[in-house]
Amino acid sequence: MKKMFGYGPVWLSILFGAIPYVAIQADSAGFTFELYYPLATYAVLVVLELVIFAGIKYYKVELGELTKIFTVVFLLVSVVSVGCYGTLLKKWDYSSVVFILLVATSVISAAVVMFHELPGKVVKIAFAITTLVVGAVVWLFLFMSLFFGNIADAKVMYSRESPEGKYIAEVIDDDQGALGGYTIVQVKRKESFSFFLGRIYKDPVFLCRKGWGKWDKIEFEWVDEDTLLIDGTEYTNEGEW
C-alpha cells in the first residue's frame, strides 16, 4: 500500500494530463474531443488526488527523488488541465462555482505537497512563480473563451443529410451582438469515435459565408454523396469532409 502511494504523484500526473493531451492532439489534427460529463470527470480526479495525498501523509511515505520531481510536474499539469476541463464545460452556470472550488482544492493541495517535498527555498520560489504565470495564462484563456462564447449566439437554422447519410450540411446563423454576425454553411461527418468518457469527431468543414440573417435565402441540395450545391455553386468533397 505504501509503495502504491509512493508513486502517487506519477499516476496523478498521467491521469490529469491524459485528457488535455488527447484534446490538444485531436485539435491539432482537425478533430474535436468531447467529454460526456466533464465536471464529473474532473471531480473524480480531484477526489482521487486528495485520497493519494492523504495516503502519503497517513502512511508517512518517503518520496523518492524521481517522485519528488513528479510532485512539481503534477502541480503544473494540474494547472494546465484547468484550461482543458474548463473549456469542455458545456455551460458556465452553477457548474462554474463547483468547478472553481474543485480547481482551488486541486491546485492548493498540489502546491502544499510540492512545498513540503521539494528541497531548497530558491527552487520552491522558482516553481511557485512558474505556476503563477502558467495559472494566469490559463485563467486568461478561460475568461476569453467564456467572454466570446457569451457574445456569439450560433444557431443551426436547418440541416440536410447527404443521400447515403454520411454527412450533414447545416445552415448556421451566428449572431455576434454589437459585432454583427453572419450566416454560414458547413458540412460535418455523422460518424464519431466513442469511448467510455466521451467521443472524438472531425471538425465541421466551412463551405461559404453569407450576410447575417440571410439563412432563409440560401438554397442548397445534395447532388450526390460528395457534392453539395449552394446557390448554384457546387462544393465537392476532396477528402476534407
Kindly report, residue by residue over 1-29, the tens digit of the pLDDT: 788 899 999 999 999 999 999 999 999 99
Termini Cα distance of the chain: 50
The predicted model gives 129-137 an average pLDDT of 94
The predicted model gives 83-94 an average pLDDT of 81
Query: What is the pLDDT, as a whole number, of residue 69?
Result: 92
Percent of the chain with pLDDT over 90: 64
- Cβ distance 64 to 121 under 8 Å? no
Asked if residue 91 has pLDDT above 70, the reply is no
Rounded to the nearest 5°, which phi and psi values hold at 63? -80, 140
Q: Which of 198, 177, 224 is nearest to 36 (CA)?
A: 198
Residue labelled with grid coordinates 484563456: 141
CA-CA distance, 3 to 38, in Å (whole number)?
30
Q: What's the chain's average pLDDT? A: 89
Query: What is the pLDDT, as a whole number, of residue 149?
Result: 59
Asked if residue 151 has pLDDT above 50, the reply is no
Helices (H) and strands (E) in the chain, counts: 6, 10
Asked if residue 90 has pLDDT above 80, the reply is no
Name the more confident of 196 and 9: 9
CA-CA distance, 106 to 43, in Å (whole number)?
10
Query: What is the pLDDT, as a whole number, of residue 85?
Result: 94
CA-CA distance, 199 to 189, in Å (whole number)?
13
Rounded to the nearest 5°, which phi and psi values hold at 118? -85, 125
Report the 10 Å Cβ neighbour count for 145. Answer: 15
29: left (phi over 0), alpha (psi -120 to 50) or beta: alpha
The predicted model gives 57-70 an average pLDDT of 92
